[in-house]
Amino acid sequence: MASGRFSDVPRLAVSAAALAACVAIWQLLASGHVDLHFVTFANVPPPAEVLDAAWELARSPKLVQHLGSSLSRIAAGFALAASLGIGLGLAIGRLRWVHATLLPPLEVLRPIPAVAWIPLAILMFPSSEGSMIFITFIGALFPILLNTIHGVESLDPRLVASARSLGCRGLRLYAEVIAPGAAPSIVTGLSIGMGTCWFCLVTAEMISGQFGIGYYTWEAYTIQNYADIVVGMLLIGALGMGSSALIRSLGRCWMPWAYGVGR
Mean pLDDT score across all residues of the chain: 87
Burial level of 171, CB count in 10 A (0-12/13-18/19+)? exposed
Tell me: the pLDDT tens digits for 3-62?
A: 445 566 678 888 889 999 999 999 999 988 888 888 899 889 999 999 999 999 999 888
Region 89-114: mean pLDDT is 89
Confidence band, pLDDT 50/70/90 cuts, at residue 261: very low
**Does the reported pTM lie above 0.85?**
no
Residue 160 has pLDDT above 90, yes or no: no
Residue 1 has pLDDT above 70, yes or no: no
Tell me: the pLDDT tens digits for 194-215?
A: 988 888 888 888 887 788 899 9
List the single range of 17-31, 71-85, 158-172, 218-232 with lowest mean pLDDT.
158-172
pLDDT of residue 170: 82
pLDDT of residue 128: 85
pLDDT of residue 206: 86
Task: Express as a percent the part of the chain with pLDDT over 70.
Answer: 94
Region 106-119: mean pLDDT is 88
pLDDT of residue 7: 61
Region 240-246: mean pLDDT is 88
pLDDT of residue 24: 93
Residue 122 or residue 136, greater confidence: 136
pLDDT of residue 263: 46
